[in-house]
Amino acid sequence: EPDAVSRLVLEQIQQKLEDAELEYESGTLLFQDSVSDVTVEDGCNRTVILRMNTDIEVLEDTTLSLTLDSLYEPISVSLNLLAGISAQGRARQIFGIRIDDCVDLGRDSFDFLATGQIDTTITATLELNPQWSSENVLSFFPTFNLQGMVNHFSPSIDIDDTIFRRILEDFLLDQIRDAFSNSALGDALETLETELQQDLDDSLTDGRFDLELPPADDAQILALYRLLQPDARFPLTLDMLQQHRQLILAALILGETSALADFVQDALLCQASDALRVPITPIPIYSDVTGACELVDISDIQYADTFEAKTLFTDDSCATSFSYMPTTASAYCDVALDTQRLGNPASFPHEIDRWILSDGTRFDIGALSIDGLTQPFVQRVNYKSVNTPAGVCELEMRVYSNNPNDNGNRSVIAFHGGSWQRRGSGALGIDATAVHFTNRGFTVFAPFYRLVGDADGTAACQDASLEDLIADAQSALDWVISEQQRYGSSGKPTVFGQSAGGHLAMSLLVNRPDEIDRGVLFYAPTDFSDFVAQVNSGDYNNPAGVRILEAITGASLAELSLDAPIVVDNSFPTIVAQDPSAYPPVFLLHGELDTLLSFRQSARLCNGYSGSLDPSSGPAPLEFNLTSLKNIIQCDSGGTTLHLIAEGEHALDLCIARGLCLSGSEASAQAVAESVDRMLDWVNAEDTAFSDSSENGGSAGGVGWLVISWLLWLSIYRFLHSVALVGYVSRCAFK
C-alpha cells in the first residue's frame, strides 16, 4: 500500500535525522558550525576569519515529497530544504609589502553578519527489489541509499568592502558546500544510511520479507478477466489468465502498470491474431486406450499442467506409435512472446522428444495460403549446448513432419531471420513456410542460433559474433546429417533462409557445398562488400539497415575497409564467381522495393553464379524493372534462378492481415504466391535445371504501378503502426 510505505519511510527518516544529531523538531532543522583563525586570503595582504558561527534554519516553504510509481522502481523520498543561513563573526585584514619577507604596515579588525537562503535536497531512496521465490510468494530484498546536495546559495553581507565581501562569500559557500557534501551532514547521511539498512536487516529474515498471494480460484480468475477485458476490446482467453495470474497480480499489487500493459499488448499480438489462423488438421491419428484401435479426434485430447504425454498411433492397426503432448494457443503465445523461452530448450524439458501440434503452424500469413493443407507435428529438441562468457547457451531445434513415423522424406534446414539479433518474428516466418515444405514430402529442421547484441534470448546466448552464428549453423548441419534418419528423411539437405537466415544458409552453401543439395534464399544479405560500398557512396541511406550491419560487423561502415575479413568472407557473389559449378544451385526471391536490403544483393549473387567476375554485370539487372510485376532470371545452366518482384518490400512473402501483404498490390501478392509455389516445385525436382527460363510476368502499365505501389505501401505502413500486429513485421528487419 503506497500510503503505508510512505508513512514508514518518512517516520524512519525523521527518527534517524534526530539520532544523527540533525535536529528535526516541529518542522525545523538546525545545523550549526563554528570556525576560528582561518586565513582565507594568503599573501602580504591577507584576510583572517578570527571566528565565525553559522546557523542554518529550515524555512516554512520546506517540503517533503514521495515518488512511488511502482514498487519495482526505487521509492524516492525527497526533503527539499529551503533554509535560512546566518553567519556572524569577526575578521581581520592585514596590509603589508614584500621586502624579502612580508612586512606588515597595518591591520584592521571588524565584525560582520552574513544572511541569506540556501536551497538543499536530501533524498532517501528505498529499493524493494521484488523477486518471485515460489509460485505464490513474492519476496522483497530492500536497501536504502541517501544523498545530500546544495542546489543554490545567495548570501548578503553587511559590509561596504567589496573585496572582503567577495572573499567572505566564497569562503561561506565553500564552508556550506563542504558541510553538506563532505563534512558534518555528509557524515550524518552516511551514518543515517548505515543505520537504516541495519534496522531493515534486523527486522527481516535473511534480508527479506515475503508477501504470500492468495491461492488461485475460479472467482479470482474471472475477476481478473473482467478487470482486463473492458468491453471485450481484445480476446484474452481464460487459460492464458490462469497461466499469467502471477504476473497480473504482481503488477496490480506493485503498481507495475508498464508490465501489465506489456502483457495486454502481447496478448493482443498473439491472441487477437485468431483471424489469421486456419482450421488445418493433421493426418488421421489412432488410439488404443479402449482396447481397440480407434480413430480419434486429436483436438479432443485435453492439455494438462502435469505435462503428461499420450501414446498415439499413425496407423489403423495401432502398430506405429509416437509420444504426443497436447498444448494450447496460449501456451504457444507464452513461448512465442517470451525472449527467455523462445529457442531455449532448457525451458521445456517436459516437451523433449514429444510431438505437439503447434498453433504457429496454423497461421495463414504467407503469400501462398496454407488453407487446405495438412498440419504438421512439431518436436522441439536440444541440438547444441555451448559455453559462453555469460554461461551455457542452450539452442533449440524444431522438427516439423506431417507424420511422426514418416519414411522416405528429404530434409530442409530452415534458418529464421531477425537481423541476426531477434527470434520472434523470424520463428513465425519459419512456422508459416514449414507447412508448405512438409506438405511436399519434406522434414523441416529449424535451428535457433546465438544472437548479436542483447535484444533477445538468454544472457548466455547474447552478444555473439557473426562467426559464432555461423558456427551454430555448421552445428545444425552436423546434427541434421547425423539425426535425420530417425525422423524419416535422408540425403543431402536443402538449406532455406529468410533475410538474415538466408545469409546463414548461404554461408553453408559456400563453406560446405559437398554436403548440401541446394539452397533457397528469400531477400537475403549475401554481399557485404556491395552493402558497404553502397553506404559509403551515399546510394544506400536507410538508418535501420546501417545499424544492423554495423552491429554485425562491430564497426562503423564509413570506416570499414572492403578488405576486412568479415567483408571479404561474406561477399558471396565474388566467391561463387570463381567456380560456380562447385556450389549447389540456389533459388532467389527478392522485392525490388526492398528499402531495408536492396535487391542488388540477390541480383549480384545471381550474376556470380553466371561466372561473371564483376557481379554488377551479368544476366540479372541492377536497375529497377518498370514494365512488369515479376522478372524471372535464369542465372546459370545449373538451375540457379532469381525471381524479382517489382512491388515487393522486405519480407514480401508474408501477410500480417487479410489484404495487407508486403508483396504490394493484390496482383503482386499473387505473383509472389506463384513464385513460392514454383520454389517448392524447384526444391522437389530431382534436377534443378528444369525449365524456369527468364520471363517477365504481368504488365505494370508503364511506370504507373510504381506510384500506386508506393501509395499502397505508405497506407499499409501507417496502418501497421496503428495496430499491435506491427510487432510481427517491424522485427522482420534483416530476417
Kindly state whether residues 43 and 87 are assigned to the same domain. Answer: yes
- pLDDT one-digit tens code per residue, 664-712: 888 999 999 999 999 999 999 987 765 554 455 554 433 333 333 333 3
Task: Estimate to the nearest angstrom the gap between the alpha carbon of 266 and the chain centroid.
Answer: 14
Does some domain include residue 714? Answer: yes
Kindly state whether residues 522 and 637 are assigned to the same domain. Answer: yes
Kindly state whether residues 676 and 609 are assigned to the same domain. Answer: yes
Kindly state whether residues 155 and 256 are assigned to the same domain. Answer: no
Q: What is the CATH number of the domain that holds 110?
A: 3.15.10
Place of cell 492481415: 657
Answer whether 71's CB lies under 8 Å from 256's CB: yes
Answer whether 645's CB lies under 8 Å from 668's CB: yes
Nearest to 731 by CA among 535, 468, 526, 451: 451
Q: What is the CATH number of the domain that holds 451?
A: 3.40.50.1820
State how far the Cα of 3 lies from the Cα of 22, in Å rounded to an integer.
26
- Among the listed ranges 233-247, 348-362, 566-580, 600-614, which one has the minimum average pLDDT value? 233-247
Nearest to 567 by CA among 537, 595, 614, 527: 527
Answer whether 275's CB lies under 8 Å from 22's CB: no
- pLDDT one-digit tens code per residue, 566-615: 999 999 999 999 999 999 999 999 999 998 899 999 999 999 999 999 99
Strands 391-401 and 377-388: antiparallel
Kindly state whether residues 680 and 546 are assigned to the same domain. Answer: yes
DSSP H helices, 20-65, are: none
pLDDT band at 156 (very low <50, low <70, confident <90, very high): confident
DSSP H helices, 233-362, are: 238-243, 245-254, 257-271, 329-336
Does some domain include residue 659? Answer: no
Does some domain include residue 576? Answer: yes
Last residue of one domain, picked from the residues 221, 243, 275 = 275
pLDDT of residue 613: 94
Nearest to 573 by CA among 620, 527, 624: 527
State how far the Cα of 431 lies from the Cα of 735, in Å rounded to an integer.
14
Residue 84 predicted with pLDDT over 90: no
Angle at 399 between CA 395 and CA 401, to 5 degrees: 175
pLDDT of residue 255: 55
Does some domain include residue 99? Answer: yes
pLDDT of residue 608: 98
Does some domain include residue 339? Answer: no
- pLDDT one-digit tens code per residue, 33-49: 788 888 876 678 778 88
Using H for helix, E for strand and C for coil, what is the string for 361-427? HHECCECCCCCCCECCEEEEEEEEEEEECCEEEEEEEEEEECCCCCCCEEEEEEECCCCCCCCHHHH
pLDDT band at 162 (very low <50, low <70, confident <90, very high): low
Residue 22 predicted with pLDDT over 90: no
- pLDDT one-digit tens code per residue, 535-553: 989 999 888 889 999 999 9
Kindly state whether residues 470 and 547 are assigned to the same domain. Answer: yes
pLDDT of residue 509: 98
The residue segments making up the domain with residue 403 are: 346-649+665-730
pLDDT of residue 729: 32
Nearest to 400 by CA among 454, 447, 367: 447
Q: Is 35 helix (H, G, I), strand (E, B) or coil?
A: strand
Kindly state whether residues 596 and 505 are assigned to the same domain. Answer: yes
Residues near 90 by beta carbon (within 8 Å), at least 6 away in sequence: 50, 51, 109, 110, 111, 112
Residue 719 predicted with pLDDT over 60: no
pLDDT of residue 571: 97
Identify the H or E element spanning 61: none
DSSP string, 107-128: EEEEEEEEEEEEEEEEEEEEE-
pLDDT of residue 494: 98
State how far the Cα of 95 lies from the Cα of 473, in Å rounded to an integer.
84
Residue 262 predicted with pLDDT over 70: no
- pLDDT one-digit tens code per residue, 382-421: 999 999 999 999 999 999 999 999 999 999 999 999 899 9
In whole angstroms, how far apart are CA 84 and each of 60, 178, 469? Answer: 10, 17, 64
Residue 89 predicted with pLDDT over 90: no
Answer whether 309's CB lies under 8 Å from 354's CB: yes
Kindly state whether residues 225 and 355 are assigned to the same domain. Answer: no
Residues near 691 by beta carbon (within 8 Å), at least 6 away in sequence: none
pLDDT of residue 308: 78
If you average pLDDT over residues 72-94, what whole number do you get? 73
pLDDT band at 5 (very low <50, low <70, confident <90, very high): very low
Last residue of one domain, picked from the residues 169, 202, 235 = 202
- pLDDT one-digit tens code per residue, 306-317: 567 899 999 999
Q: Is 502 helix (H, G, I), strand (E, B) or coil?
A: helix
pLDDT band at 166 (very low <50, low <70, confident <90, very high): confident
Does some domain include residue 712? Answer: yes
Answer whether 544's CB lies under 8 Å from 596's CB: yes
Percent of the chain residues past pLDDT 70, beyond the cut = 67
Residue 268 predicted with pLDDT over 70: no
Last residue of one domain, picked from the residues 275, 300, 315 = 275
Count of structural domains, the chain? 3
Does some domain include residue 679? Answer: yes
Kindly state whether residues 180 and 81 are assigned to the same domain. Answer: yes
Q: Is 324 helix (H, G, I), strand (E, B) or coil?
A: strand
In Å, the largest CA–CA distance within the chain is 123
Kindly state whether residues 620 and 488 are assigned to the same domain. Answer: yes
- pLDDT one-digit tens code per residue, 174-218: 766 565 544 455 566 666 667 666 766 776 667 776 767 666 555
Kindly state whether residues 257 and 372 are assigned to the same domain. Answer: no
pLDDT band at 626 (very low <50, low <70, confident <90, very high): confident
Mean pLDDT score of the chain: 78
In residues, how long is the chain? 735
Percent of the chain residues past pLDDT 90, beyond the cut = 41
Kindly state whether residues 243 and 158 are assigned to the same domain. Answer: no
Question: Which of 260 and 559 is assigned the larger pLDDT?
Answer: 559
State how far the Cα of 518 lies from the Cα of 587, in Å rounded to an integer.
8
Residues near 463 by beta carbon (within 8 Å), at least 6 away in sequence: 389, 390, 452, 453, 454
Residue 732 predicted with pLDDT over 50: no
pLDDT of residue 39: 81
Task: Estimate to the nearest angstrom the gap between the alpha carbon of 634 and the chain centroid.
Answer: 39
State how far the Cα of 346 lies from the Cα of 183, in Å rounded to an integer.
53
State how far the Cα of 607 lies from the Cα of 456, in Å rounded to an integer.
35
Does some domain include residue 655? Answer: no
